Amino acid sequence: MSESRRKVTAMAKNSTKDRASFRCTECGWTSLRWVGRCGECQSWGSVSEVGAPSAASMRPGAVSAPAIPITSIDLREAVSTPSGIGELDRVLGGGLVAGAVILLAGEPGVGKSTLLLEVAARTAQQGPVLYVTGEESASQVRMRAQRVGALHDDLMLAAETDLAAVLTHIEDVNPRLIIVDSIQTVAAADVDGAPGGVAQVREVAGVLIRAAKQRGITTILVGHVTKDGSVAGPRTLEHLVDVVLNVEGDRHARLRLVRAQKNRFGPADEVGCFDLGDEGIRELSDPSELFVTRRHDPVSGTAITVAMEGTRPLVTEVQALVDPTSPGQARRATSGLDASRVAMVLAVLERRAGIGLKTHDTYTATVGGVKLTEPAADLAVAIAVASALVDRPVPAGTVIIGEVGLAGEVRRVTGTPRRLAEAARLGFTHAIVAHEPGTIPAGIKVYEAADIRSAIDAAFKSPGRAGIA
């Protein structure tokens, strides 16, 4: 090879090394050329140009603090302080931890700001609280705080959208709690991109998290959600924070659920229940009353089950309506239930229990806006549909717990003793379950159903007859 040819080849290799690369803003995957879809996380439109990686070798640098034995670390810095709202403390694992960063997400109008105003007012009784609003004016927040009774002299309010101004407020107030509503509205002046963009959200979150860790200030960041219900912005935002909470609820119902999706200080499967009304948001220590309709006489097409939300059992009512269909295909409609599981239960009823539903429209729903997705509600759905079809009510005081299989068998579910204990506490006297639990609470009799036929037979017997043991 000639000398000139070798020089051209070397220059081509060097230009390949030095040319700009592309990186996924969601997972960090890199590529030498632009692609429309990330090759790692399969996200569309997330790959952008960031420049060629540096080839300089990394050398040891200065440390912020020397490494110390883990046994000498003071645990008092990680002790949680109650927020004053028991349901929120339940989800957080005890309360607010100094230096912790919490991301609270939810759909617009679900009650995020109302809940945080309540938290801010109660925390302000122990020290100053800084509430930064970027979506509303200070007067709008003041009006809502007055309506819900969340006023306190140590609750400091700042309407800011500039990150530098927010840091100045933190210096001046020195709060024990910071609430930023929302992080998508705050922008850093030295970062390109519009507020709410990937670069802006990552930079703003990083600065606020560093400030929270250095000063030991509990920080709550409000985040927007996308159409599919996930937190908007880069996926790394959820990895940077300590706790991720999601506020769920139908805007046409009063029930609100605060669910932990990530928690470094406690369980990640806990749920807090709240009642959102005109006068603010109220915690529900016993939410089962919202999910059960109180009647003097039993009504056909209803069945009571016990669902598990985290470690909490919730007594829930399932309703069904079966009506002869007009010429054409029978209609299936659900509300608060998993449509695919309901369709499966209806198919099992038709095939394994001999209950004809092809010529009937079937409507199923839950009470109080609660959503049941766990298989433990299958048997209650099946019995509610059977009850609506024959227009015969299930005897009062009966709860129904079990998963239905495609072969018509009734399968056991987790936490049956805890579910039965909750049912007994609320006055239920009979239960139809998949298997005999280890411990039966006092005051409740249990019938073990092996398949869906035996469960339906037991449901329509009076509680005093044999078959309910």
User: Are 407 and 372 contacting, i.e. CB atoms less than 8 angstroms apart?
Assistant: no
Query: 96 — phi, psi (to 5°)?
Result: -90, 130
Q: Letter for the amino acid at 442?
A: A
CA distance 261 to 245: 6
Average pLDDT over the chain reads 86
Q: Letter for the amino acid at 119?
A: V
Interval 178-195 mean pLDDT: 90
Note the helical H segments in 105-225. Answer: 112-123, 138-148, 163-173, 198-215
**The whole model's pTM is what?**
0.76
Q: Which of 344, 264, 228 is nearest to 99 (CA)?
A: 264
Note the helical H segments in 266-410. Answer: 339-352, 378-390
Q: pLDDT (tens digit, 9 = 90+) per residue, 384-429?
A: 999 999 999 999 899 999 999 999 999 999 999 999 999 999 999 9
Residue 240, classed as helix, strand or coil, is helix
> Which residue has 């099992």 as its token pair?
348
Q: Which of 378, 388, 418, 384 is nearest to 398 (CA)?
A: 384
Interval 361-390 mean pLDDT: 93
Residue 248, classed as helix, strand or coil, is strand
Vertex 449: Cα angle to 446 and 453 (nearest 5): 135
> 236 pLDDT band (50/70/90 cuts)?
confident
Query: What is the chain's length?
Result: 469
Interval 356-368 mean pLDDT: 92
CA distance 469 to 224: 51
pLDDT of residue 449: 93
pLDDT of residue 3: 58
Total Cβ atoms within 10 A of residue 103: 24
Which has the higher per-residue pLDDT, 193 or 426? 426
> Which residue has 């309010």 as its token pair?
157
Q: pLDDT (tens digit, 9 = 90+) per residue, 7-46?
A: 544 544 444 444 558 888 777 788 888 888 888 888 888 8
CA distance 360 to 90: 44
Query: 210 — phi, psi (to 5°)?
Result: -65, -40
> 61 pLDDT band (50/70/90 cuts)?
confident
Query: 277 — phi, psi (to 5°)?
Result: -130, -170
CA distance 419 to 463: 19
CA dihedral 225, 226, 229, 230 (to 10 degrees): -70
Q: Which residues contact 242 (CB under 8 A, 6 or more apart)?
A: 97, 100, 101, 102, 262, 263, 264, 265
pLDDT of residue 312: 86
User: Are 78 and 243 contacting, i.e. CB atoms less than 8 angstroms apart?
Assistant: no
Q: How far apart are the first and last CA of the chain?
A: 94
Q: Which residues contact 49 (CB under 8 A, 6 or more apart)?
A: 20, 21, 22, 34
